[in-house]
Amino acid sequence: MKFLDTAKVYVRSGDGGAGCVSFRREAHVEYGGPDGGDGGRGGDVIVESVDGLNTLIDFRYQQHFKAKTGGHGMGKNRYGAAGNDITLQVPVGTQIFDDEHDILLADFTRVGQRIVLLQGGQGGRGNTRFKSSTNQAPRRADTGGEGEERWIRLRLKLIADAGLVGLPNAGKSTFLSAVSRARPKIADYPFTTLTPVLGVVHIDQTEFVIADIPGLIEGAHAGAGLGDRFLGHVERCGALLHLIDCTEDDIVGAWHTIRSEIEAYGGGLAKKKEILALNKIDAIPEEFIAEKCADLETASGQHVTAVSGAAGAGVDDVLRRLRSMIEEDREATNADPAAESALPWSP
């Protein structure tokens, strides 16, 4: 299944049904009077987050979604049927934006969240509604109210606890395959990873989710390479694992490149807790490892961990540190009322 994390669709709620003008005419009924029923309410447009979806590919093949119009009123005080609602099912992590005003309308962060995005039009009143002592034979009925319509943009941000960042071929996919059952494509050419991949890590009887995103290069924020749009998938992470290939000639320059792109992207990524790791230490002589770590620590001001995803060296230590950072982030989120997501938007 092809991965798609953005989509633009048109949605419209149903119009209300028209009211009816009718009079009761039966044999041996002296005063019939008006008996026109009301029109039915138009269908709503509903969005719901469901389990089992991890892409917006369904919206590639259908971009227009319209709820049904309410039924018209009829004689004998018969009301029109309400129009059927239409429900858009999206993956957890989907954000909905108004395309015209670029306003965030909804953010789905858990399974089962459900909002009414557009409400259907009200049904029109039949002439029975207008009967009074001074107007006993009204010939007036309302047309149904019009439904609402808008273009919306869907953006998927995968739900992960930790994110892997680094240059292409920094060993991110190898690391993910070593610590989880995920099987991303691994090869020795840049941009082997074209779409984000999730893996579930088990460590000390606990588990968390790691996201591997395509590598960044200098100028990614301006569209170079695959750009930086996949960084949105690690915006929700509690911690970042920054992998640097120790076989690079300029490891300090590699670190500066990624940090510059993260800061240029924004989204709060630059403030996230980060573990800086020198990867592929099995590919260089052991006497050079400490020297490279020292150079990187001097430039970054952070502690540098030496790891090897392929050989498994230092992996468990990094995973435990990641787990600790993720737990601290969760505690801080739960303790801060302002960090909790607001109530779902509704019209």
8 Å CB contact between 166 and 231: no
Q: Shortest CA distance to 310 belongs to which of 280, 284, 290, 289?
A: 280
pTM for the complete prediction? Answer: 0.81
Fold of the domain spanning 162-339: Rossmann fold (3.40.50)
Q: What is the mean pLDDT of each run of 10 residues along the chain (347 residues)?
A: 85 97 85 91 96 89 95 94 96 93 92 95 95 92 94 92 91 91 85 88 90 89 82 90 90 92 89 92 88 91 90 90 90 64 46
* Gap between the Cα atoms of 63 and 223, Å rounded: 26
Beta-ladder partners of 223: none
* Gap between the Cα atoms of 319 and 18, Å rounded: 63
Domain ranges of the chain: 6-156, 162-339
Please give the full DSSP string across 238-263, using - where no structure is assigned. Answer: SEEEEEEETTSS-HHHHHHHHHHHHH
8 Å CB contact between 13 and 45: yes
CB atoms closer than 10 angstroms to residue 208: 22
pLDDT of the residue at 128: 94
* Gap between the Cα atoms of 214 and 274, Å rounded: 18
Sign of CA dihedral 326, 330, 332, 333: positive
pLDDT of the residue at 140: 94
- Which stretches of 139-206 are DSSP H helices? 172-179
CATH number for the region 6-156 comes to: 2.70.210.12
The string over 87-103, giving b where at least 16 C-beta atoms fall within 10 Å of a residue's C-beta and e elsewhere, is: bbebbbbbbbbeeeeee
**Sheet containing 162-165: which strands, arranged edge to edge?**
197-203, 206-212, 162-165, 239-245, 273-279, 304-306
pLDDT of the residue at 336: 63
Sign of CA dihedral 203, 209, 215, 221: negative
* Gap between the Cα atoms of 305 and 313, Å rounded: 10
> Which amino acid, one-letter code, is at 335?
A
8 Å CB contact between 96 and 19: no
Long-range CB pairs of 30-36, under 8 A, 24+ apart, other chains included: 33/131, 33/136, 33/137, 34/126, 34/127, 34/128, 34/130, 34/131, 34/137, 34/138, 35/75, 35/76, 35/77, 35/128, 36/73, 36/74, 36/75, 36/77, 36/126, 36/127, 36/128, 36/141
